[in-house]
Copies of this chain bind each other. A is one copy, B any other.
Amino acid sequence: MDVHIDRESTVPIYLQISGGIKELILAGKLPEGFRLPPERRLARSLGVNRSTVLAAYRELKADALVDAHVGRGTAVLPRHFAPEPMGPTQPIPWRQLAREDGPKAQDPLVRDLLQLTERPDIISLSVGLPAAELLPLDAVRRAMSALLEEVGAPLLLHCPTEGTTSFRETIAGMLVTRGIRCTAGEVLITSGSQQGLDLAARAFVEPGDAVVVEEPSFFGALQAFRRAPARLLGVPVDGEGMRTDVLESLLARHRPKLIYSLPTFQNPSGTVMSLERRRHLLDLAYRFQVPIVEDDPYGELRYDGPALPSLAALDEHGYVMYLSSFSKVLFPGMRVGFMVAPRPALRQLALAKQAMDLHSTTAGQHLIERLIRDGHYSRHLKTVRAEYRRRRDLMDEALHAHAPDGVSWSKPDGGFYFWCRFPNAIPQAQLLARAAESRVSYLPGDACFADEPSDNYLRLNFTYPLPDAIGEGVERLMNAVRAAASRPRRGGNGGGTPPIV
């Protein structure tokens, strides 16, 4: 048995011995049943202490490569799963091989919706996109040309996992207007806001941990937490935001790992959490020592009502990880968002991000930094705010004109969505199919709940459709609701759980 020892190496001798023997076994040079030399003899022949060989053999036992019996010495174990002689090659059962991370059936929803919106004959009220015709194409072209000229190669090379220093500084500066005081070192650039959610889940949620979510909530967040996989604890949302009275009992009972909240222009309900509830939420988080993930992609898109401070702005003890995005105000296609978190939290998030995608697009970071620094971002925000306010009013009017009895909604003060309740007698799947026949798409409310909801909802986006299409889309949809209500397709495959959930 040929084992080589290098006394100059920084690798401990016992690991060199066990490594050498391991390699011999795995290469088949020490067959099953082969007796390793007694410890004392091997120690003598290698010129090491017996305890060193003992430690090496212990390693091999831990690897299930050898076993020792009193009186019989240490012998190489048999291969446990000797395969049969080779038959015809079997295909890989990929689906069975996949991780079991929660309900698979619901996941393709977003992808299917994104595909629907590509059909030109469909009026899309489903996805949360900014107005395509307002996208700042000229500003982007000018900025990219200037950047390639002035910044040059670094634009196309790697940057730190956390993001470029100057972009992080720019964001820290921008956040002062949102009442959030942070340093560049507390900013992490993400590949869109969705990655921020996924990072929070991957850095902090262990399988089986509980995570508090609002009911309803952003489906992309539910998806990210479900894949952790976390147990989702739903807290209902009413007109003042998350029901913090219910939250308190849940915190006491389940000791969750995170609380996820969208306090401002909540997706999908459009609700703004009251200042009192914001304070109560923070107090509860402090009392039970549970960090909060605050998601704020829509905060700057306010059309009415007073501005309320974000949880991050109110937080005095470093409990909030704040997420935001450029996807709603500027554009989503570059995949650039950001998080603000206390430094020790940020470090964990950056470690997770490094293994995920090294860093977010360098060119995209420079581009958005420039749009902020040259004032284009602020000007653009004013433009889209005015236009989206107008579209929101158009949708509200269209709903008043076309919604049948039994459909109810509130006009949101900001954000991207109307959240409409419709009669429970209409199965979601049936309405979805009828709406597709009528060439209009929406997001079924069921996708936004952690538990099965007791009511029927649909989410309507008013920022992406052109003003003319808003009235037409709402009319088509409400006709579909009316048709489904008057001629419910019961029996057959109807009733029971709709396939989309």
Measured CB to CB, the residues of A under 8 A from B are 6, 8-11, 15-16, 19, 23, 25-28, 64, 79-83, 86, 89-92, 94-95, 97-100, 104, 107-108, 110-111, 114-115, 127, 129, 132-133, 135, 137-138, 140-141, 144-145, 148-149, 152-161, 191-192, 194-195, 198, 202-207, 220, 223-224, 226-227, 236, 243, 245-246, 248-250, 252-253, 255, 257, 283, 286-289, 291, 316-319, 330-335, 342, 344-345, 347-348, 350-352, 354-364, 423-425, 427-428, 451-456, 495-498
Contact = CB atoms under 8 A, between A and B. Distances in A.
Contact of A11 (B192, B204, B363, B452): B452
5 contacts: A99-B206, A111-B161, A194-B358, A207-B207, A220-B355
Contacts of A424: 6, 8-11
A140 B144 CA distance: 9
Nearest to A423: B8
B194 A357 contact: yes
Contact of A99 (B6, B80, B204, B423): B204
Contact of A19 (B252, B318, B451): B451
A220 to B, nearest CB: 7
A360 B350 CA distance: 19
A154 B224 CA distance: 26
Given A252-B83, A334-B362, A16 B454 contact: yes
B137 A252 contact: no
Given A92-B291, A156-B331, A99 B202 contact: yes
Given A19-B451, A111-B350, A135-B157, 4 more contacts: A89-B317, A98-B203, A140-B148, A159-B333
Nearest to A95: B344
Contacts of A19: 451, 454
Contact of A246 (B26, B227, B454): B26
Contacts of A236: 23
The 4 closest A-B pairs by CB, nearest first: A333-B362, A156-B331, A8-B425, A9-B424
Contact of A79 (B64, B253, B358): B253
Nearest to A427: B10
B156 A334 contact: yes
A140 B107 CA distance: 36
Contacts of A362: 333-335
Please state the number of chain copies in the assembly.
Answer: 2
B195 A356 contact: yes
Nearest to A86: B287
Given A15-B452, A145-B141, A358-B194, A107 B333 contact: no
Nearest to A258: B97
A248 to B, nearest CB: 8
A94 B361 contact: no
Contact of A26 (B94, B249, B283): B249
Given A191-B191, A317-B89, A204 B98 contact: yes
B332 A357 contact: no
A500 B133 CA distance: 52
Given A11-B454, A194-B358, A335-B191, A99 B140 contact: no
Contact of A198 (B15, B318, B355): B355
A111 B198 contact: no
A130 to B, nearest CB: 8
A152 B141 CA distance: 10
Contacts of A332: 156-158, 358
Given A16-B454, A107-B355, A204-B99, A158 B253 contact: no
A377 B425 CA distance: 58
B141 A153 contact: no
Contacts of A347: 94-95
Contacts of A133: 153
Nearest to A221: B355
A132 B107 contact: no
Given A27-B245, A158-B333, A252-B81, A195 B357 contact: yes
A148 B141 contact: yes
A16 to B, nearest CB: 6
